[in-house]
């Protein structure tokens, strides 16, 4: 998606050829025009989805835009829990944090995932794919069908795509960064 690649080039900040900061349009300040286009792009790949699932916090805006482009279908965001709350009312999974060496629980109330659902999972970033893998494991407990996973920005050199595809799940990203070179993205 050229619009997103251009924006990453123009306003993304890359630190130490490793960290990409897109605070300016994606996960602190949100450019609603751009995110609407990202939502349309994702919806065009999964036009038969009837529910959008994401994870708090930064996935919510993209999930909202995706839902807008899918006839305002329901969206559900998984909650992250630092502490471990066991509840019979929730589907849960464990996710290993990429940046911090901790494992956290994610959960969704069982009422909001059902057998007839055709789900697209969305997130802002795809790095090592741990959050995506956790969401797939969680959703599969419900019997809902997963049409695929979509991220706005994929860091294509961190193995996330392979980790999710290994579960039999299709992966799409609006922009795929192959590498960082001289603190610039290579698409």
- Does residue 13 touch a copy of itself according to CB under 8 A? no
- H-helix or E-strand spanning residue 134: helix 130-140
- Can you tell me the distance from the alpha carbon of 112 to that of 176, in angstroms, rounded to the nearest whole number? 31
With contact defined as beta carbons under 8 Å apart, do 53 and 77 qualify?
yes
The contacts of residue 42 (CB under 8 Å, 6+ apart) are 62, 66, 69, 120, 122, 150, 172, 174
Rounded least distance, CB 143 to a copy of itself, Å: 17
Neighbour count for residue 119 (Cβ, 10 Å): 24
Rounded least distance, CB 176 to a copy of itself, Å: 25
User: Among residues 11 and 158, whose Cβ is nearest to a copy of itself?
Assistant: 11
Residue window 34-53: x/- pattern of binding to a copy of itself, with contact defined by CB under 8 A? -xx-----------------
- Does residue 141 touch a copy of itself according to CB under 8 A? no
Binding site for a copy of itself (CB under 8 A): 23-24, 28-33, 35-36, 56-57, 60-61, 64-65, 67-68, 72-77, 79, 108-109, 111-112
């Amino acid at each position: 998606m050229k619009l997103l690649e251009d924006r990453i080039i123009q306003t993304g900040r890359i630190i130490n050829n490793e960290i990409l900061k897109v605070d300016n349009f994606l996960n602190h300040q949100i450019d609603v025009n751009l995110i609407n286009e990202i939502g349309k792009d994702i919806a065009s790949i999964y036009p038969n989805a009837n529910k959008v699932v994401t994870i708090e916090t930064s996935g919510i805006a993209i999930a909202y835009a995706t839902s807008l482009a899918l006839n305002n279908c329901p969206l559900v965001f998984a909650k992250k829990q630092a502490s471990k709350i066991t509840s019979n009312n929730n589907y849960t999974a464990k996710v290993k944090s990429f940046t911090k060496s901790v494992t956290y629980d994610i959960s969704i109330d069982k009422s909001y995932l059902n057998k007839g659902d055709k789900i697209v999972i969305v997130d802002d970033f795809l790095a090592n794919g741990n959050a995506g893998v956790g969401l797939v494991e969680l959703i599969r407990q419900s019997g809902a069908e997963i049409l695929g996973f979509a991220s706005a920005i994929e860091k294509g050199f961190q193995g996330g795509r392979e980790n999710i595809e290994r579960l039999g799940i299709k992966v799409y990203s609006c922009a795929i960064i192959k590498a960082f070179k001289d603190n610039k993205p290579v698409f």
